[in-house]
Amino acid sequence: MDTRMWWLFGGVAGLLLLASVTGVVLSYRVTTEAGRETVANLKARIKAWWVMVALFALAFAFGKVVTLVMFALVSFYCLREFLSLTPARPSDHGAIAAAFYLFIPLQYFLVGVEWVSMLTIAIPVYAFLLLPVLSVLRGETDDFLLRASKIQWGLMLTVFCISHAPALLILEFEDYDSAFLLFFLVTVVQLSDVLQYVFGKLYGKRKIAPGVSPSKTVEGFVGGGLAATVVGALLWWITPFSFLGAAALSFVIVISGFLGGLVLSAVKRSLGAKDWGTMIAGHGGALDRMDSVTFAAPVFFHFVRYFHT
* 271: three-class secondary structure by DSSP: coil
Torsion-angle region of 63 (φ positive above 0: left; ψ -120 to 50: alpha; else: beta): left
Question: Where does residue 144 rank: exposed (0-12), middle (13-18), buried (19+ CB within 10 A)?
Answer: middle
The yes-or-no verdict on residue 271 having pLDDT over 90 is no
Q: What is the pLDDT of residue 56?
A: 76
Q: What is the pLDDT of residues 113-167, one digit of tens each?
A: 999 999 999 999 999 999 999 999 887 888 889 889 999 999 999 999 999 999 9
Cα separation values, 181 from 10, 45, 46, 59, 177, Å: 17, 25, 24, 14, 8
**Please, which pLDDT band fits residue 204 given cuts at 50, 70 and 90?**
confident
Beta-strand runs (E) in 244-285: none
Average pLDDT, integer, range 244-248 = 95
Q: What is the pLDDT of residue 104?
A: 97
The model's pTM: 0.86
Domain boundaries, the chain: 1-62, 64-163, 174-309
Q: What is the pLDDT of residue 281?
A: 53
**Please, which pLDDT band fits residue 197 given cuts at 50, 70 and 90?**
confident
Residue of 44 and 108 predicted with greater confidence: 108
Measured between alpha carbons, how far is 292 from 261 in angstroms, rounded to an integer? 5
Amino acid identity for residue 20 in this structure: S
Q: What is the pLDDT of residues 104-121, one digit of tens each?
A: 999 999 999 999 999 999
